[in-house]
């Protein structure tokens, strides 16, 4: 019995050993592994999304800004609390930003399908404004809740608007710059306007607020078709959203007041709902020597009603237009990589193609005065798209301007750019008669005591210099100083009651030109 048991156990062990030997010789199916592969079809940085034939590229930057002499990250002080230029304005504004962009490409039998997204997460210093309580209290546009003194805290995106995310302890602001699809020559979604020069607001600078041309640096919703003729020659035809960035105002001057005018408002803005997108066409030649571009745009000025209800009637629509020429000259004799970028624009009833949305077209700046009996000085101006009076037709505002820059590379690590811009706004007979009377001595403002000259025309001049240091690849430190000059056409003195946000007293003010200086210090790491 013992022998039998031993024989059975030995046989079983031998069978198990043989089975293991045979199993070792059989092929074993390995677990599937998805490897990320480089996609060389569309340039550096693209990879295949595992399990698909779509290529993807991630990019972006982290940026830190310190802005001196401004309540904004991109504008000099030009109106409101900032324009008061007293203890209520910020001596500095700080911003931190993360940009993330996602680019995908897929080859199809109809050509490449591309999607592109660019979003930013931003935290910006807040602004102070008087509470209007008469106690000297201030309200901080910084975060929700109450501070230790019981002052209400609202907003934190630098604009003074409420941003309730996370109580604004760490909320900041989210911005969608670009989100578009490109397929078979079509661009559909939020992208840079086809009217813009390729450098948008930046012929050589880092400030956003240059006048003298269009600049949708944060994109505009559009449906565009681009034809490519080869040799760097393209033509685009586009329908672009008007509501976000292209309405400078349709002003009913029947509601104009002297107090409103000094705040940069020449009446009641009565824009109606959208009726037509802006219609844009562009031709571009982009070659090794540089670039030339011609752009045109048509803009429908659609107004609501003369009064509070539709029974009061309305003016007919008035089409405005704009034309722009842009030229870039590369690798000029002063040095490798040196560039000159220039552009010029003319608008008639389409002001935002000159005084672009990040610049704005309303100014109210206070300053000092040496005039006898004057508490201080004031310069104000505004350029809408059209003006009208109740019962009348729209009259367009005409503007023209230019901007440009020369960029010089000192070596592989340092470069500087000298840049400038200029824009002028010109009103018609209806506006000048209503606001200033015949000969500038009547109307809403021209007839006031002390006013010796009244003319709503004005000009903005800008000049700046920026220097950049790139000690290692994709890490750049910049310093940009800009000067803005308001050349307004009002003269004399005026007694006025300033807006409470300025904390200025009721007094006599001299009407004169104003200047503003701002500086941006920036550190940026691209990835």
CATH number at residue 432: 2.40.160.10
Least confidently predicted of 9-18, 53-62, 295-304: 9-18
Q: 């991109």: which residue's tokens?
A: 74
Burial profile 347-360: b = 16 or more Cβ within 10 angstroms, e = fewer: bbbbbbbbbbbbbb
Q: What is the pLDDT of residue 27?
A: 56
Provide the pLDDT for residue 161. 40
In this structure, what are the phi and psi dihedrals at residue 326, rounded to the nearest 5 degrees? Answer: -135, 140
| Confidence (pLDDT) at 379 | 95
Residue 88 predicted with pLDDT over 50: yes
- Taking residues 286-313, report their average pLDDT: 96
| Residue 481: inside a domain | yes
* DSSP string for residues in 91-147: SEEEEEEEEEEEEEEEEETTEEEEEEEEEEEEEE---EEE-SSSS--EEETT-SEE-
- What pLDDT does residue 28 have? 56
Q: Is the pLDDT of residue 437 over 50?
A: yes
pLDDT, greater one: 237 or 359: 237
Stretch 235-255: mean pLDDT, rounded? 95
Q: What is the pLDDT of residue 171?
A: 61
Q: Residue 468: which of 479, 460, 458, 483 has the closest Cα?
A: 479
Per-residue confidence (pLDDT) for residue 147, from 0 to 100: 34
Q: Please give the pLDDT value at position 273.
A: 93
Q: What is the pLDDT of residues 134-184, one digit of tens each?
A: 433 333 443 333 333 333 333 333 344 433 444 445 567 888 999 999 999
Q: Which of 110-124, 327-341, 489-503 has the lowest mean pLDDT?
A: 489-503
Q: Can you tell me the distance from the alpha carbon of 471 to that of 449, in angstroms, rounded to the nearest whole number?
A: 60
List Cα–Cα distances, 398 to 303, 345, 383, 401, 512, in angstroms: 18, 11, 9, 11, 23
Higher pLDDT, 461 or 90: 461
- 449-476 burial, b for 16+ CB within 10 Å, e for fewer? ebbeebbbbbbbbbebbbebeeeeeeeb
**Tokens 């037509």 identify what position?**
276
* Mean pLDDT across 393-412: 97
User: pLDDT of 440-485, one tens digit each?
Assistant: 789 999 999 999 999 999 999 999 999 999 999 999 999 999 999 9
Radius of gyration of the chain (CA): 31
Asked if the structure places residue 15 within a domain, the reply is no
pLDDT of 258 > 50? The answer is: yes
CA distance 517 to 13: 93
- SS3 assignment, position 162: coil
Which has more pLDDT, 86 or 413?
413
* pLDDT at position 399: 98
- Which residue range forms the structural domain that includes residue 71? 56-526
Instruction: Return the minimum-mean-pLDDT range out of 22-31, 84-93, 187-196, 297-306.
Output: 22-31
Mean pLDDT computed over 228-244: 96
Q: What is the mean pLDDT of residues 404-419?
A: 97
Please report the pLDDT score of residue 167 as a whole number.
47
Please give the pLDDT value at position 23: 45
Whose structure tokens read 């750049």?
476
pLDDT range class, residue 80, cuts 50, 70, 90: confident
38 inside domain = no
Mean per-residue pLDDT for 356-373? 92
Query: Does residue 518 sit within a domain?
Result: yes
Q: What is the pLDDT, as a whole number, of residue 30?
A: 54
How many domains does the structure of the chain reveal? 1
Does residue 37 belong to any structural domain of this protein? Answer: no
Q: Is residue 187 part of a domain?
A: yes
pLDDT of residue 134: 40
pLDDT of residue 263: 82
Helix (H) or strand (E) run with residue 505 in it: none
Tell me the average pLDDT of the chain. 87
pLDDT confidence bin for 198, thresholds 50/70/90: very high
At 18-75, the pLDDT tens digits run: 444 444 455 556 555 567 899 999 999 999 999 899 999 999 999 999 999 888 777 7
Overall pTM > 0.75? yes
Question: How confident is the model over 481-512, as pLDDT tens digits?
Answer: 999 999 999 999 999 888 777 888 999 999 99
Cα-Cα-Cα-Cα torsion 82, 84, 86, 87, nearest 10 degrees, comes to -60
Residue 146: predicted pLDDT? 32
Q: Residue 332, Cβ neighbours under 10 Å: how many?
A: 15
pLDDT at 173: 81
In a domain, 149, yes or no: yes
Domain-located, residue 24: no
């Amino acid at each position: 019995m013992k022998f039998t048991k031993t024989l059975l156990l030995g046989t079983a062990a031998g069978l198990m050993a043989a089975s293991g030997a045979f199993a070792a010789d059989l092929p074993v199916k390995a677990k599937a592994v998805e490897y990320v592969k480089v996609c060389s079809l569309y340039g550096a940085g693209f990879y295949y999304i595992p399990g698909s034939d779509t290529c993807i590229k991630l990019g972006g930057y982290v940026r830190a800004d310190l802005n001196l002499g401004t309540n904004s990250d991109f504008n000099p002080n030009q109106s409101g609390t900032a324009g008061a230029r007293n203890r209520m304005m910020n001596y500095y504004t700080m911003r931190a930003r993360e940009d993330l962009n996602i680019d995908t490409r897929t080859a199809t039998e109809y050509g490449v399908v591309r999607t592109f997204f660019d979003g930013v997460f931003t935290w910006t210093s807040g602004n102070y404004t008087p509470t209007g309580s008469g106690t000297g209290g201030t309200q901080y546009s910084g975060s929700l809740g109450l501070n230790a003194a019981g002052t209400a805290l609202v907003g934190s995106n630098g604009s003074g608007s409420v941003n309730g995310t996370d109580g604004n302890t760490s909320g900041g602001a989210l911005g969608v710059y670009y989100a578009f699809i490109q397929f078979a020559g079509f661009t559909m979604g939020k992208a840079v306007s086809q009217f813009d020069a390729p450098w948008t607001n930046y012929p050589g600078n880092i400030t956003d607020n240059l006048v003298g041309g269009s600049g949708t640096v944060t994109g505009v919703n559009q449906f565009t078709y681009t034809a490519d003729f080869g040799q760097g020659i393209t033509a685009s035809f586009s329908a672009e959203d008007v509501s976000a960035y292209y309405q400078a105002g349709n002003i009913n001057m029947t509601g104009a007041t002297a107090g409103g005018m000094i705040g940069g408002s020449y009446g009641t803005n009565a824009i109606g709902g959208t009726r037509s997108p802006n219609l844009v066409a562009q031709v571009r030649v982009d070659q090794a020597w540089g670039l030339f571009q011609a752009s045109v745009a048509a803009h429908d000025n659609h107004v609501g009603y003369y009064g509070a209800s539709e029974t009061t009637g309305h003016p007919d629509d008035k089409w405005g237009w704009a034309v722009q020429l842009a030229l870039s000259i590369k690798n000029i004799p002063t040095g490798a990589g040196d560039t000159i970028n220039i552009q010029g624009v003319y608008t008639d009833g389409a002001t935002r193609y000159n005084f672009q949305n990040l610049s704005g077209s309303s100014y109210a700046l206070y300053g000092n005065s040496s005039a006898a009996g004057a508490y201080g000085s004031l310069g104000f101006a505004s350029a809408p798209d059209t003006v009208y009076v109740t019962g009348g037709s729209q009259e367009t505002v005409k503007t023209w301007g230019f901007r440009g820059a020369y960029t010089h590379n000192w070596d592989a690590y340092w470069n500087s750019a000298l840049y400038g811009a200029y824009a002028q706004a010109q009103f018609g007979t209806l506006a000048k008669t209503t606001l200033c009377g015949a000969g500038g001595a009547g109307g809403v403002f021209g007839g006031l005591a002390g006013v010796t000259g009244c003319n709503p025309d004005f000009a903005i001049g800008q000049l700046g210099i920026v220097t950049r240091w790139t000690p290692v690849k994709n890490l750049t430190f910049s310093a940009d100083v800009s000067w803005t000059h308001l050349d307004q056409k009002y003269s004399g003195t005026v007694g006025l009651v300033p807006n409470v946000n300025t904390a200025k007293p009721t007094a006599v003010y001299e009407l004169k030109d104003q200047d503003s200086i701002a500086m941006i210090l920036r550190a940026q790491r691209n990835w």
